[in-house]
Amino acid sequence: MLDLVLNHRTIRKYKSDPIDEQVLDKILTAGTRASTTGNMQVYSIIVTSGQELKKKLWDAHFRQDMVVQAPVILTFCADFNRFNLWCKLRKAIPGYDNFLSFFTAAIDALLAAQNCALAAESFGLGICYLGTTTYNADIISELLNLPKHVVPVTTLVVGFPDESPELTDRLPLEAVVHREKYKEYTREDIDFHYHEKEALESTEMLIRENNVETLAQIFTEKRYTRKDNEQFSSKLLEVIKKKGFLT
């Protein structure tokens, strides 16, 4: 199990081979065994494999080809709709139309997602998380018919890998771990923790290709710009509000 976790690679190229239904059910079942707040299971998993709908999701996910290549797309949603319905049918008045409840449901959905990711990998399948889910939560909601109190929070692409990438670098453990309390970083700490990443050959290449001075500038000026972040941020808050979680 530890080996599986330590050897995780994100896969961005997939074969079109389908996933056996029984295997898929085991992956989904693994998701449902994750911890869930008060055993409420306030999430839903949408399994999309039809080519037509995948094509539409591909558009919503910034046209990343793996979305149409891979056989299965799992959209994980924070979902208080089912629970609210149950309450109403059982003489109980739900009070889950607030931000805390949304966040609680999002936690549930994300823990389930990571269980599914690892279960998929245990079957030799590859996975990729799509951050674009929160950017275009409005479009995805429409495509998947998500009702009020259901918000998509992440997506997993699942399928047989058609590439075998190297293990990605990570910051040294001590860069992200704090003992007892949070210890603010000094300039020296930052230099120390980021040195290895900045010294990678791939980093030098990225800097040249992007015609910038530093790796950090690739993030702030190319990949995750203030303009994009602020635009998608407003949209996401609007979705959360429209879905009835910010009253």
Site for a copy of itself, residues 48 to 87, rule: CB under 8 A = 48-50, 53, 77, 79, 81-83, 85-87
Q: Which of 22, 100, 164, 166 binds a copy of itself (CB under 8 A)?
A: 100
The residue type of 228 is D
Q: Contact between 26 and a copy of itself (CB under 8 A)?
A: yes
Kind of pairing between the strands at 150-159 and 43-48 = unpaired
**Window 176-235: residues binding a copy of itself (CB under 8 A):** 176-185, 187, 190-191, 193-194, 213-217, 219-221, 223-227, 229-230, 232-233
Rounded to the nearest 5 degrees, what angle is found at the Cα of 229, between the Cα atoms of 224 and 233?
150
Q: Among residues 135, 157, 154, 155, which one has the least CA distance to residue 239? A: 135
Shortest Cβ distance from residue 149 to a copy of itself (Å)?
A: 11
DSSP, res 33:
T
Indicate the residue among 90 and 208 with the shorter CB distance to a copy of itself. 90
Q: Among residues 49, 244, 228, 59, which one has the least CA distance to residue 156? A: 49
How many residues make up the chain in this entry? 247
Q: Which of 62, 131, 204, 209 binds a copy of itself (CB under 8 A)?
A: 131
Shortest Cβ distance from residue 169 to a copy of itself (Å)?
A: 7
Shortest Cβ distance from residue 76 to a copy of itself (Å)?
A: 10
Residue 154 near residue 35 (C-beta atoms within 8 A): no
Q: Which of 64, 69, 98, 210 binds a copy of itself (CB under 8 A)?
A: 98
Residue 73 near residue 156 (C-beta atoms within 8 A): yes
Q: Which of 14, 43, 136, 158 binds a copy of itself (CB under 8 A)?
A: 43
Q: How far apart are CA 32 and CA 230, in angstroms?
A: 34
Residue 34 near residue 114 (C-beta atoms within 8 A): yes
Shortest Cβ distance from residue 201 to a copy of itself (Å)?
A: 15
Q: Which of 135, 158, 239, 244 binds a copy of itself (CB under 8 A)?
A: 135
Tell me which residue has tokens 């790796």: 215
Indicate the residue among 15 and 193 with the shorter CB distance to a copy of itself. 193
Residue 239: HSE in the Cβ half-sphere, 13 Å Cα cutoff? 25
Q: Contact between 16 and a copy of itself (CB under 8 A)?
A: no
Structure tokens at 6: 């330590």
Residue 134 near residue 153 (C-beta atoms within 8 A): yes
Residue 234 near residue 135 (C-beta atoms within 8 A): no
Q: Which of 59, 162, 175, 206 binds a copy of itself (CB under 8 A)?
A: 175
Shortest Cβ distance from residue 28 to a copy of itself (Å)?
A: 5
Using the contact rule CB under 8 A, the part of the chain among 12-20, 60-68, 146-154, 158-166 near a copy of itself is 146-154
Using the contact rule CB under 8 A, the part of the chain among 12-20, 61-69, 89-97, 157-165 near a copy of itself is 89-97
